[in-house]
């Protein structure tokens, strides 16, 4: 995940996402790689980093949060 220069960023083509019935999460994430907008690309970058960490047997992985999880709307996920 290298930081693109302005020139490189402006060359990148933005593709519409194509949602299909029965689409897997993996297919959805793959299609989000070429979407425009910052949130989708940041999420895909984070997923790629997490995937690399899980594949690396020597990495030390931990999870932390920068905010109160309940206040950010994750109460339902934590209670599940």
Which pLDDT score is estimated for 56? 95
> Structure pTM?
0.54
* Cβ-based neighbours of 41, under 8 Å, separated by 6 or more: 32, 33, 35
With 60 as the cut, is the pLDDT of residue 75 above it?
A: yes
Distance from C-alpha of 21 to C-alpha of 76, rounded to nearest angstrom: 26
> Running DSSP on this structure, what letter comes out for residue 58?
T
pLDDT tens, residue by residue, 22-59 = 999 889 888 888 777 767 778 888 889 989 999 999 98
* Cβ-based neighbours of 17, under 8 Å, separated by 6 or more: 28, 31, 32, 35
């Amino acid at each position: 995940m290298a930081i693109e220069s302005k020139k490189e960023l402006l060359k990148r083509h933005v593709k519409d996402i194509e949602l299909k019935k029965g689409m897997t999460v993996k297919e959805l994430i793959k299609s989000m790689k070429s979407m425009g907008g910052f949130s989708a690309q940041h999420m895909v970058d984070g997923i790629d980093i997490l995937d690399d960490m899980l594949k690396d047997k020597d990495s030390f992985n931990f999870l932390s949060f920068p905010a109160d999880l309940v206040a950010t709307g994750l109460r339902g996920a934590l209670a599940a």
